[in-house]
Structure 1
Amino acid sequence: MQVKQIMLLGTLCTYALAATANSPQKHLTSNTNAYVRTLHNISDDEQQNGGIRGRITTSDGSVAPKVSVKLKGTRYGTVTNEDGEYHVKKVPEGDYVMVVSAVGLQANEKAVHVVGRKTVIVDFSLTESQAQLAVVEVNSNKNKYKVNRPSNSLRLQSPIIEVPQNIQIVTSQLMADQLVFDVVDGITRNVSGATRLGHWDAQYANIFMRGTNIPAFRNGMNQKMPWGPLADDAATIDRVEFVKGPAGFMMANGEPGGIYNIVTKKPTGMDRSSISLSGGGYNLGRVAADLDGKITKDGRLLYRLNVAAQTKGSYNKYNYTDKYVIAPVISYKIDSNTTVTAEYTTQHVEAQALGTYGFSPKGFADTDPSFFLGDPALDPAKLYDHNVTLYFNHRLGSGWQINAQAAYVRYGLDGGTPWPSTIAPNGDMRRYLNISEELAINKNAQVSIFGDLVTGPVVHRILTGIDMGNLKTWGDFSSVTLNDLQLENNATFNIYNPVYGIPFKNIPFFDRSRSIQNRSGSNVYATNLTYTGAYLQDELRMLEGKLRLTLAGRFTRAITVGKTNLTQLSDNVFSPRVGLSYSILKDLSAYTLYDQAFLPQAGQNWAGEPFKPVRGNNIEFGLKKDWLDGKWNTTFAAYRIIKKNVLTPDLDPAHLRVNPNAQIQLGETRSQGIELDINGEITRNLNLVLNYAYTDAKVTKDNRNILVGRRTPNSVKHITNGWLYYRFRRDGSLLNGFGLNGGYQIQLGRYAGSTAAPLSLPAYYRFDAGASYEKGRITISALVNNLLDRRLLTQGSYTQLSAPTATSVSYYTYIYDMPRNARVTIAYRFK
């Protein structure tokens, strides 16, 4: 071994002296690095065989992750990691043809000669831009929780470490390790400062971040509706991208606090189908299948089909939720430069009741979690959505590309909502039942063009495009109402000792013979919101790409239609964006950002007047650092956001009689704080997610002059989360393939969902733990959530009556998190 190293070292020195005399210093560095890599990567496994390693990049200099590397006609091959690197080990001596390929990428080949006991360095430069490479999930321990690049739908061409904004990505691998079944199922624990607000039995995500409710995006298009969309099922999710701060420029329109973007699964061209079965506490049962492959042998026509069916009971007595999801995707490669994709997703949900709320005249968490406001005699609510999306991707040449997409979403709800009309001090409650129906149609279209221009030493990374959207909603929550849900023999319903069983004669009939459009047109629930935006961004890359200055602007025209010309709003807004990012080291960057947000809002106040758009601005500073050759990452950010026209519940009793869900707009809120995120493989086989956020969110201006200084509703001052996952990897060991995982969630300084009374929610402490076993194509996973079985709240508010009586007093409303429950999943991969 020593002789071999001395010979290689001598050769290295000889070559270095020759290179110094005959070539520039950069050639010396390049070839020296190649020999050093050869010296240090000869392992005992390669004593008799050789190896091939290298790096694959694109023509614009970006790395190319998840690219297939194969030796033609053999079983040897691998896939590049997130840094575009690959290593094919234990290759017998001989001549081979290497083939590299990926979806949307023209295959490339090179001849290579492998010599025993040596590692050959073979690099590839591809003519495809990084933005067109498909995101392919790979079952490997390295970077299970860390992603280096955002999806195409964010329109960013640079790695995350170079982007002047805090972007956190939750991978499908992480979701699988945590046995997450939908986007509200604990996914926010993986992102600093993100929380989920309990609402309508978790049918909607309702996620808060940086002191504000953030909208739901799907593949880069805003899907936010007054009561939707439905929470995305994990079977359809490839990743979830949390973009912090204003994302209006990149993503059409977004809240100043940020957005979350669901990236759905697309065909990969690789036969990697799987099926899973799950079961757990509260009568949980689930089956999901992911079919991924080629329709034609040449790989030009690809498909992916995800389906899932789930039934789930509830800690609420008599409540349940059944649903199914179907999501087919077809992708066709017209030629080497052009790909079209069609995607359809539908969800259907049946729930005995949408409300899992608890009520008490005494305080939060006063009643047992099993308390059920509804009744088994009432019809269940039914919800659905249909989402059709078309994608077009075309490479123009010279590294320029054009992407276009259009989406149509139709969401509906049919049901009835019980709610308390009065609560007495002893817990006696009178309930009413009103019709609950909604229809929402959301249409979006986007076109973007991007590429690089070079002017002297400066590279201009240009992005421009237009996007358009129209949201129409119709709601009926008042046309049919039963003022008192009377029990048999007029028995009293008491929150501490509830009795169920409403006689058939006391249940109202909801007349739906007239369309929802007819019924909604006569109330305040009809919405018609349209916007068109055009944008241009130039990322100036200087000092060989180390310094990056982003200059951007967006013009948006938005029209919110009211019932009369006097209540119709029309806005023309220009939003600037300035960002600066500098690579202090190759794996360390600092950034600052100034951005503005403009977001039209759907809905009307109690008087039928449309809401003014949200306006806001953000100033942010941050540091990003990759560690251990990019295996894990830390992100630190400090920010200050000013937001105007914030929506909050209207607590005026006179207004609530007109519209029980009435909202008003505050003058201004301010959110400021710090965030820390740590993600990735800390040591071999040990993956970690760890984060902390401090959020100071207050009302700074108030149209009613009574709320200034109070905390914004549903904000949390301190949040920290942690998750560890370790897999034993040792051949021949009894523990090989065995894994342990667990985590915690802590929230302190929580504020209730009302500015009318400055109430605090109890501290939130949750601990989870589990184990798994992986053998070949089979993985068995088990997890216990809320291990200590604490009474945790995901939401709370307070209804204050101006004139309490002996039978009607002010009361607290709250929603519990799930009590202790266990889950088990068995997954099988066909290849």
Structure 2
Amino acid sequence: MRKLLLPFFLILFISTSVLAQQTGTVRGRVTTSDGTIAEGVTVKLKGTEMGAVTNEDGEYQIRKVPAGNYTLVVSAVGLYPKEKQITVTKGNVISDFSLNENQSQLNDVQISTNKKKFKADKVSSSLRLQSPLIEVPQNIRIVTSQILADQMVFDVVDGLTRNVSGTVRGGHWDNQYANISTRGTTIPAFRNGMNMKMPWGPLADDAATIERVEFIKGPSGFMMANGEPGGIYNVVTKKPTGENHSSVNFSAGGYNLGRAAIDLDGKITKDGKLLYRLNVAAQSKGSFVKYNYNDKYVIAPVISYQIDSNTLITAEYTTQHVKALNLGNYTFSPNGYGEIAPGLLMGDPSLEPNRLADHNFTLYFTHKLNKDWKINAQAAYVKSGLVGTSVWVNSMTASGDVIRSYNISEELAINKAAQFSIQGEVRTGAVLHRVMGGLDMGNLKTWGDFSSSGTAPLASANDVPFNVYNPVYGIPFNRIPVFDRSRSIEQRSGSNQYATNLTYTGAYVQDELRFLEEKLRLTLAGRFTHAVSVGKTNAAQMSDNVFSPRIGLSYSVTNNTSVYTLYDQSFLPQAGTDYYGNAFKPVRGNNIEFGVKKDWFDGKWNTTAAVYQITKKNALTADLDNVDKAPFNWQIQTGEAKFKGFELDIVGEITEGLNVNLNYAYTDAKISKDANPLRLGTYVPNAVKHITNGWLSYRYKNQNSVFNGFGVSGGYQFQFGRVIGSNSRESNFADFIRYDAGVSYERGKMTLSVLVNNILDRRLLTAGSYTAVNAVQAAAGYVGYYAYIYEMPRNARVTLAYKFK
């Protein structure tokens, strides 16, 4: 690693050896006359190109200002502008503002919705990084709520991944859980900076609650090393803003889709100290799979209270409930992937529906110690569960006759997490230190029951064998097995491998040292993690103490261009055991990365290119030697895998009204060490070699034209070189090619949008596996079979949205 970093470091130092002139920093806070924080206010030094925009705390900073006298101008739509004379010397100049509302401007001016519609310049406060994205030595991609609305995305599995290079998802459980992968590995779900990873959850976040989704590529050892080396994704939920951002949406579409969502954002008290945000959504959706349906509702209230100018407390509760007939949605056939057309239901309309629910309560506390330092604390409680049944193939003949197993599907997970952090900055001579550190703790308990409880194979309608080529439905009620649920899921799970208990405690610290007028930034960080997994035997017990270092280097070649390099590590405890009762070792990973970031045309759009190599040890994969041994789904640890790749992302407003999100990724993911020599050099299951996505959105703005407010949008998703299945021998998965397009019309506070997905109506597969038969099964006339999931065929959506402001 030293050989990689040292030449890069020396080149940057030599290129900036000329001493800089004396400069200072202009900083302050902007509020309105009633004390409300003024976010998004423009602060500029008159007669120069230097300026800043206030953040969510109403704060701004203009760095590297040459010594001299200036006029500071503060302005925003709906507020009377102010000017102030300041003198800049070496050090900090503090200048706060209180602005009065301009009511006539608020009534008459329509703010353009195209400004930075797809592009974000900073991560959310939940990630605790203080520097803008262009200066962070890591590839972090942000998916805004605006692009989700433009693509009519209703939850995180509904096309979200198309907006991030090298990111895909595998369909499973009827899209209830995300199963998102990037850089070749499945990545855990975070919510507001807290790890929500569960064996089967959490439920996919609904778009009604999402402010943005942040994808952190590579390990995140700087504060949350408990993650896959490929990265994490962090869902940032909507919070009260103190302004009227309320809206209501009605949507309809193919396969009996109906949806309504309302977002209420406002003040409870006139002084703006007590705020609320309430999001409610209800959705009813049919399916291209026969008889299947998926109904859900989401309720998400948030209350925040500004105790004083420096202290904010926020309480948030989100609950989501889903009812669906069938969760599997797999198609099975004996002769290859995609053999049978979309629509096959392996279950039956007479079976009981599945019910899923999430409850998430989070409490946040933020306090500013002074102008440079603040502390954050938060705690979360998440309860996620499923009560239902599942149908799977027990055996299949060459003619398509199937014996179906019928099992309980019941699971419960309780995730408790707490975090405390402190962050700020201090100067030592010419070096500015941006420091953060903290503690985080968590406990995850899970219970599951997926047994058949001794029931016979599922009966067929009219005593005719169920056949995948000619299915017959309608099982008599008295022939449907009834499961014994008299004992709690905790009791039933105690006797199988699905009962887990994992606890971790971590401490981390990071110092970003900023040299040479902050053009050169060296990041040094480390994390210590203690993790314990309770096992049913001594062999299954796991206790680990791990240190994960992080070294990053970033240099601003110009004000709009930076280059970076990074070395980082990750650590992920794993609950459970293999077939022989041995506890799984934690996943260990490290990442070496180089990249270039550039903002174009005053920051309107950005390009980021990165190359990386990730080494992942102790990854889980299917145990092919024990695949047919109850209770099935046994896993083993492969040893080591290497992931090498290149990523390119282009996002932002290219020209007035035209916003784009384009990306490409090449991923080479292969097993480098394994107990089975046949696996060496083979591709990691579910890897995709080439991924490229694009989305363009154009809105025409001309008050004098009849086309004013008319918009068009469209995009594509391509995946080539796909390796699918429970092992890498299954590499014959079809390419994924999809096109979407839509039109919209915006008039005042109202927008009408129409979108057609999968225009070419291609048979698109999102997941698959192959099950072989042994000699005994083959002698009995059974054959191996393929299982695969289709993405929805061509479908249309229409949305009518109204904004109250």
Quick check: TM above 0.5? yes
Identity %, equivalent residues: 63
Q: Which residue of 2 aligns with 1:215?
A: 188
TM-score, structure 2 as length reference: 0.89
- In 2, the alpha carbon distance for the partners of 1:526 and 1:270 equals 46
- In 1, the alpha carbon distance for the partners of 2:26 and 2:409 equals 54
Contact 1:68 1:80 (C-alpha < 8 Å) held by counterparts: no
Paired residue type of 2:662: L
Q: Are 1:248 and 2:227 counterparts?
A: no
- Displacement after TM superposition at 1:484 (Å): 1.4
Give the alignment partner of residue 150 of structure 1, picking from 123, 133, 142: 123
- Displacement after TM superposition at 1:487 (Å): 1.7
What is the SS of the residue equivalent to 1:710? coil
- Displacement after TM superposition at 1:104 (Å): 4.5
Matches within 5 A, 1:444-463: 444-463=417-436
Give the alignment partner of residue 197 of structure 1, picking from 161, 170, 176: 170
Cα pair distance change 1:523/1:86, threshold 3 Å:
farther
Contact 1:284 1:313 (C-alpha < 8 Å) held by counterparts: yes
Q: Are 1:815 and 2:789 counterparts?
A: yes
- In 1, the alpha carbon distance for the partners of 2:520 and 2:511 equals 13
Q: Which residue of 1 aligns with 2:368?
A: 395
Q: Are 1:281 and 2:254 counterparts?
A: yes
Matches within 5 A, 1:482-631: 482-631=455-604
Q: Which residue of 2 aligns with 1:685?
A: 657
Aligned positions, number: 745
Contact 1:166 1:635 (C-alpha < 8 Å) held by counterparts: yes
Give the alignment partner of residue 40 of structure 2, picking from 50, 55, 80: 80
Give the alignment partner of residue 430 of structure 1, picking from 403, 425, 430: 403
- In 1, the alpha carbon distance for the partners of 2:711 and 2:74 equals 39
Q: Are 1:748 and 2:713 counterparts?
A: no
- In 2, the alpha carbon distance for the partners of 1:544 and 1:481 equals 72
Paired residue type of 2:635: Q
Give the alignment partner of residue 789 of structure 1, picking from 754, 761, 768: 761
What is the SS of the residue equivalent to 1:374? coil
- In 1, the alpha carbon distance for the partners of 2:743 and 2:364 equals 40
Q: Which residue of 1 aligns with 2:155?
A: 182
Q: Which residue of 2 aligns with 1:95?
A: none
Q: Which residue of 2 aligns with 1:36?
A: none
Q: Which residue of 2 aligns with 1:658?
A: 630
Q: Which residue of 2 aligns with 1:50?
A: none
What is the SS of the residue equivalent to 2:598? strand
Deviations 1:225-281 (A, max 9, x none): 111110000000000000000013333511100010000000000012100000000
Cα pair distance change 1:773/1:756, threshold 3 Å:
closer
Q: Are 1:259 and 2:259 counterparts?
A: no
TM-score, structure 1 as length reference: 0.86
Structure 1 stretches of 5 or more lacking a match?
Answer: 1-24, 31-55, 88-99, 114-118, 129-136
- Displacement after TM superposition at 1:107 (Å): 12
Q: Which residue of 2 aligns with 1:464?
A: 437
- In 2, the alpha carbon distance for the partners of 1:279 and 1:256 equals 39
Deviations 1:559-606 (A, max 9, x none): 111101232011000111000000000000000000011011233323
Segment of structure 1 superposing worse, 359-368 or 281-290: 359-368
Q: Which residue of 2 aligns with 1:473?
A: 446
- In 2, the alpha carbon distance for the partners of 1:659 and 1:481 equals 12
- In 2, the alpha carbon distance for the partners of 1:111 and 1:694 equals 46
Cα pair distance change 1:106/1:534, threshold 3 Å:
closer
Contact 1:221 1:252 (C-alpha < 8 Å) held by counterparts: no
Deviations 1:336-357 (A, max 9, x none): 1110000000000001010110
Q: Which residue of 1 aligns with 2:312?
A: 339
Contact 2:447 2:490 (C-alpha < 8 Å) held by counterparts: yes
Paired residue type of 2:320: Q
Cα pair distance change 1:57/1:304, threshold 3 Å:
farther
- In 2, the alpha carbon distance for the partners of 1:302 and 1:71 equals 14
- In 2, the alpha carbon distance for the partners of 1:247 and 1:107 equals 27
Cα pair distance change 1:617/1:739, threshold 3 Å:
same
- In 2, the alpha carbon distance for the partners of 1:491 and 1:266 equals 55
- In 2, the alpha carbon distance for the partners of 1:218 and 1:123 equals 43
Q: Which residue of 2 aligns with 1:43?
A: none
- In 2, the alpha carbon distance for the partners of 1:539 and 1:84 equals 25
Cα pair distance change 1:763/1:337, threshold 3 Å:
same
- In 2, the alpha carbon distance for the partners of 1:86 and 1:452 equals 24
- In 2, the alpha carbon distance for the partners of 1:123 and 1:494 equals 82
- Displacement after TM superposition at 1:101 (Å): 8.6
What is the SS of the residue equivalent to 1:760? coil
Contact 1:723 1:741 (C-alpha < 8 Å) held by counterparts: yes
Segment of structure 1 superposing worse, 291-300 or 658-667: 658-667
What is the SS of the residue equivalent to 2:205? coil
Give the alignment partner of residue 239 of structure 1, picking from 212, 219, 231: 212
What is the SS of the residue equivalent to 2:146? helix
Deviations 1:187-215 (A, max 9, x none): 10000000010111000000011011011
What is the SS of the residue equivalent to 2:679? coil
What is the SS of the residue equivalent to 1:440? strand
- In 1, the alpha carbon distance for the partners of 2:354 and 2:791 equals 21
- Displacement after TM superposition at 1:396 (Å): 0.7
- In 2, the alpha carbon distance for the partners of 1:232 and 1:505 equals 38
Q: Which residue of 2 aligns with 1:708?
A: 680
What is the SS of the residue equivalent to 1:517? helix
- In 1, the alpha carbon distance for the partners of 2:82 and 2:367 equals 35
Cα pair distance change 1:446/1:78, threshold 3 Å:
closer
Contact 1:424 1:807 (C-alpha < 8 Å) held by counterparts: yes
Deviations 1:474-499 (A, max 9, x none): 00111525331112342011101111
Cα pair distance change 1:497/1:558, threshold 3 Å:
same
- In 2, the alpha carbon distance for the partners of 1:84 and 1:783 equals 39
Q: Which residue of 1 aligns with 2:103?
A: none
Structure 2 stretches of 5 or more lacking a match?
Answer: 1-19, 47-52, 62-70, 76-80, 87-92, 97-109
Cα pair distance change 1:609/1:415, threshold 3 Å:
farther
Paired residue type of 2:657: N
Cα pair distance change 1:504/1:298, threshold 3 Å:
same
- In 2, the alpha carbon distance for the partners of 1:814 and 1:372 equals 12
- Displacement after TM superposition at 1:806 (Å): 5.4
What is the SS of the residue equivalent to 2:677? coil
Cα pair distance change 1:86/1:323, threshold 3 Å:
farther
What root-mean-square deviation, in Å, do the aligned CA atoms of Structure 1 and Structure 2 show?
Answer: 2.7
- In 1, the alpha carbon distance for the partners of 2:695 and 2:647 equals 17
- Displacement after TM superposition at 1:647 (Å): 1.1
- Displacement after TM superposition at 1:86 (Å): 11
- Displacement after TM superposition at 1:69 (Å): 7.5
Contact 1:104 1:336 (C-alpha < 8 Å) held by counterparts: no
- Displacement after TM superposition at 1:219 (Å): 0.5
- Displacement after TM superposition at 1:162 (Å): 0.3
- Displacement after TM superposition at 1:111 (Å): 10
- In 1, the alpha carbon distance for the partners of 2:179 and 2:73 equals 54
Q: Which residue of 2 aligns with 1:415?
A: 388
- Displacement after TM superposition at 1:754 (Å): 2.0
Contact 1:226 1:603 (C-alpha < 8 Å) held by counterparts: no
Deviations 1:28-79 (A, max 9, x none): x99xxxxxxxxxxxxxxxxxxxxxxxxx9745xxxx9xx778999xxxx997
- In 2, the alpha carbon distance for the partners of 1:547 and 1:810 equals 59
Paired residue type of 1:733: S
Q: Which residue of 2 aligns with 1:670?
A: 642
Paired residue type of 1:80: G
- In 1, the alpha carbon distance for the partners of 2:801 and 2:404 equals 45
What is the SS of the residue equivalent to 2:422? strand
Cα pair distance change 1:506/1:235, threshold 3 Å:
same
Cα pair distance change 1:663/1:686, threshold 3 Å:
same
Q: Are 1:773 and 2:773 counterparts?
A: no
- In 2, the alpha carbon distance for the partners of 1:424 and 1:523 equals 31
Q: Are 1:162 and 2:162 counterparts?
A: no
- In 2, the alpha carbon distance for the partners of 1:296 and 1:57 equals 33
Contact 1:694 1:717 (C-alpha < 8 Å) held by counterparts: yes
Cα pair distance change 1:785/1:552, threshold 3 Å:
same
Contact 2:229 2:570 (C-alpha < 8 Å) held by counterparts: yes
Paired residue type of 1:455: T
- In 2, the alpha carbon distance for the partners of 1:385 and 1:619 equals 37
